[in-house]
Amino acid sequence: MFTPTLWRFRRFPDVAPDLIHLQREINRLFSNAEQRAPQEYPAINIWENNESAVVTAELPGIDVEKIDIEVTGDILTLSGTNEIETLKEGETYLRQERDRSGFKRKIQLSFPVDPKKVAAHYEKGILSITLPRLEESKPKKIKINEP
């Protein structure tokens, strides 16, 4: 019923290269585990309904005069510049994470936008943009004719 010839036994020196290769692969996979993926700037939220989409973007401390909004078809482009902090004589950074001097972000929407009706509002560091659909792209209810 049970015969030892069915089992294949290997000595450790024969298995060692496979174990070393496995260890290298595991190390390679987890070597970047603690590094955070770069986040696009600015952080945005988007939601939509049948009439329009609303985009909100976090832009704290940016002068509204230095924000540009462009709409072409179904692409919204947000760009702008931020004042770079200048240190006074004798000052040095202990930590510097706010390093952005400018930004540009393109967002593709699921429908073409009517650029004449786009509205933007900036309050407390949050930019809100309402992007109405073109009339031709709005969903239309189709009536079924009965015979």
Secondary structure element (H or E) that encloses residue 54, with its range: strand 52-58
Percentage of the chain modeled with pLDDT above 70? 82
Most confidently modeled range among 43-57, 82-96, 99-113: 43-57
Task: Provide the token pair at 28.
Answer: 């390679």
**What span, in angstroms and rounded, lies between the C-alpha atoms of 46 and 119?**
15
CATH code of 78's domain: 2.60.40.790
Q: Which of 56, 74, 141 is nearest to 113 (CA)?
A: 74
In a domain, 91, yes or no: no
- 114 burial level (CB within 10 Å; 0-12, 13-18, 19+): middle
pLDDT at residue number 142: 86
pLDDT at residue number 83: 75
**How open is the CA angle 78-80-83, to the nearest 5 degrees?**
150
- Read off the pLDDT band of 141 (50, 70, 90): confident
**What span, in angstroms and rounded, lies between the C-alpha atoms of 120 and 54?**
10
More confidently predicted of 23 and 4: 23
pLDDT at residue number 33: 62
In a domain, 64, yes or no: yes
Q: What contacts 63, CB < 8 A, 6 or more positions away?
A: 83
Range of the domain at 125: 44-83+101-136
Alpha helices in 1-147 (DSSP H): 12-30
Average pLDDT, the chain: 82
pLDDT tens readout for residues 6-60:
455 556 566 677 888 888 888 877 776 665 555 678 889 999 988 899 999 998 8
**pLDDT at position 63 over 90:** no
In a domain, 116, yes or no: yes
pLDDT at residue number 132: 94
Let me know: does 80 contact 59? Beta carbons within 8 Å.
yes
Average pLDDT over residues 83-87: 77
Q: Which of 44, 43, 80, 45 is nearest to 64 (CA)?
A: 80
Cis status, amide bond into 115, omega within 30 of 0: no
- Read off the pLDDT band of 107 (50, 70, 90): very high
Structural domain tally of the chain? 1
In a domain, 32, yes or no: no
In a domain, 131, yes or no: yes
**pLDDT at position 91 over 70:** yes
